[in-house]
Structure 1
Amino acid sequence: MSEDPWSRRSVGPQVDEERTLPVYAAGEFDVPFTIKGVREVITRDTRWAPHAHPTHELLWNTTGASTVSVEDRTWIISPGIGVWMPAGTVHFGVASAGTSQRATHFHIEETPALADEPMTVEITPLLSLLLTRLEDTSLSDRSRTLTEQLVFDVIQPSPHRLLVQVPSSGMPALIAERVLANPSDRCGLNEWARELRVSTRTIARSFRAQTGLSFHQWQTAVRAQHAIAYLADDLTVEEVAGLVGYSSPSAFVVAFRRATGLTPGRFRPSSGRMHDVASTTSLDSIA
């Protein structure tokens, strides 16, 4: 299984804590709940070894950034963007210190099918409040059932995938290793072709075959993933632009929006966007 590329960020490639969990098959044992959430504030840079759950799992954060990987595919998790992990899917992940991480588990037989493959999920303010409400152990059975039904009604795929597929062999793997280690590297196809003594067409064809993207698209996606991690640490757009290889903040904003469909400011905690919207939503009417 390939290494999680996010763990090779230039700001902190070494994790401070390694965790191991079992590898369970889907539904390997029954669980006494329909939806159950756990939360943790990560105090040290942490990596989870490959594992799998008997339940479906929704991974999401209220602050900070983390990643989850399945083989050579890596998704970034940030406030507003979560990842649905089907039961029995072997995955591994990394979270940086300070991340407020949530993991919500779903009973496989009592949950309407959302997806058979990992996918990004939009964590709207309403969904966040519903999932948080279900952590209240004092809820009546009726209120819990109603809240669970609302979760099933509002949870939906996100159009913003924030997914990077890492090349596994040949020239693309060599190039990817350097880009992942240093997203500010501005080498393009021409520079790589000269260094590797091959044609730009050869690199382009090989890169698309392994990733489904052109080199430029893939590099932009990698930079966006790194940028989100920096933004989650509340660095400014100007600071992040330079760290991920853009000559100006405006060029960074354009590329970031093209890759994610969102503006960089959307991911900065100090923007208060998620808090401000969520604070206007009330669930008091669910008795």
Structure 2
Amino acid sequence: MTTTGARDVHRGAVDTRTLPLYSAGEIDVPFVIAGASEVMARDTRWAEHSHPTHELLWNSRGASTATVGSRTWTITSSVGLWIPAGVPHTGWMAAGTWSRAAQFSVHEAPPLSTVPVAVDISDMLRLLLDRLGLDTLAPSSRATTEALVLDVLEPAEQQLLLRVPESLRLAPIVDAVLQNPADPTTLAQWASRLGLSSRTITRMLQEETGVGFSRWVSTARAHRAIALMAQGESIEDVASAVGFRSVSAFGTAFRRVTGMTPGQFRAV
């Protein structure tokens, strides 16, 4: 278990970490569930890697992302991510994020899912995972706690998931919105700029992401908003940063994507 004091945070300096690519169960581990904890001193990027164990990611503070293929999940203190063993993924954490992870033996712990899935980090689950970090926990108590973790572990009703289309024709839209979520370019304007019809852009987005233009932009904005709020930005400043003229309009769009208001998210 590793922690770094928040006063040592260095924003802007990016640390890139590399880990091996393991297949599921490639390495036998001497545990059922093992946890790790780290407060990130720098903005940190994980190159593509995979684990021989199932992995559960969540944060005690801040927000981070994990990407599998074209899908990027935002991870918070209330919504974690289950990544099955052997699934290649990359990650990003901003400086100051208090990252938590738990590894689950593929032989001792039944998988929650065979594909990545968001997980509800309930108060009960959080307490149980914290208890597993106690060095003084007796073997019988550890076994009981591990069984309870497996019992309460369940998928979240709301996934903080952004699917990024891979079509080169949509790349200008993706690049513009991800770099600047406040980009005001409308669907009609993009259609004119790219020489495509609005219907074609909508169809392509639907095929690759499952949602249309407005919903995709709203989801991208919500993901950036979560990261900004996790860094302590005010709701008013966040609303402006992601392209909304009023807090109420931002709140409506944020709730449509996440299932909660910005205030409710901040209170979690």
Bin the TM-score by the shorter chain.
Answer: over 0.9
Aligned match of 1:3: none
Give the 5 Å matches for 1:23-62.
23-62=21-60
Report if the CA contact (8 A) 2:84-2:111 is conserved: no
Give the unaligned 5+ runs of structure 1: 1-11, 274-287
Deviates further, 44-53 or 111-120? 111-120
Deviations, residues 174-230 of structure 1 (Å, cap 9, x unaligned): 211111010001212111112223221111111212211101111111001000001
- Write the mapping of 1:150-161 to structure 2, written as runs, cut at 5 A: 150-161=148-159
Corresponding residue of 1:193: 191
Deviations 1:97-137 (A, max 9, x none): 00000110001111123100001001111111100100112
Which of 76, 80, 86 is matched with 1:78 structurally? 76
Contact kept in structure 2, 1:241 and 1:249, CA below 8 Å: yes
- Alpha-carbon distance in structure 1 between the residues aligned to 2:203 and 2:39: 43
Aligned to 1:224, the other structure's residue is in SS state: helix
Provide TM-score, normalisation by structure 1.
Answer: 0.87
- Tell me if structure 1 keeps the 8 A contact 2:39–2:98: yes
Deviation per CA, 1:22-46, whole angstroms, max 9, x where unpaired? Answer: 1111000110000000000001000
**Dislocated runs of 4+, deviation >6 Å:** none
Provide the rounded CA distance (Å) in 1 between the counterparts of 2:79 and 2:100. 12
Shift of 1:266: 3.2
Counterpart residue identity of residue 201, structure 2? I
2:97 corresponds to which letter in structure 1?
T
Distance of 1:214 and 1:49 partners within structure 2: 30
**TM-score in terms of structure 2 length:** 0.93
2:61 aligned partner: 63
Partner AA of 1:230 in structure 2? L
Letter in 2 for 1:133: R
Partner of 2:249 in structure 1?
251
Counterpart residue identity of residue 57, structure 1: E
Aligned to 1:276: none
Identity %: 49
Distance 1:231 1:37 in 2: 26
Distance 2:56 2:169 in 1: 35
Contact preservation (8 Å) 1:15, 1:47: no
Secondary structure of 2:201's aligned partner: helix
Q: Which has the higher strand share?
A: 2
Question: Aligned ranges for residues 198-213 of structure 1 at < 5 Å?
Answer: 198-213=196-211
Equivalent residues, number? 258
Question: Who is 2:6 aligned against?
Answer: none
For the pair 1:265 / 2:263, whether they are aligned, the reply is yes
Secondary structure of the corresponding residue to residue 235 of structure 1 = coil
* Separation in structure 2 between the aligned mates of residue 171 and residue 90 of structure 1, nearest angstrom: 26
Match of 1:222 in 2: 220
Preserved CA contact (<8 Å) 1:78 1:267: no
Equivalent of 1:116, from 99, 114, 117? Answer: 114
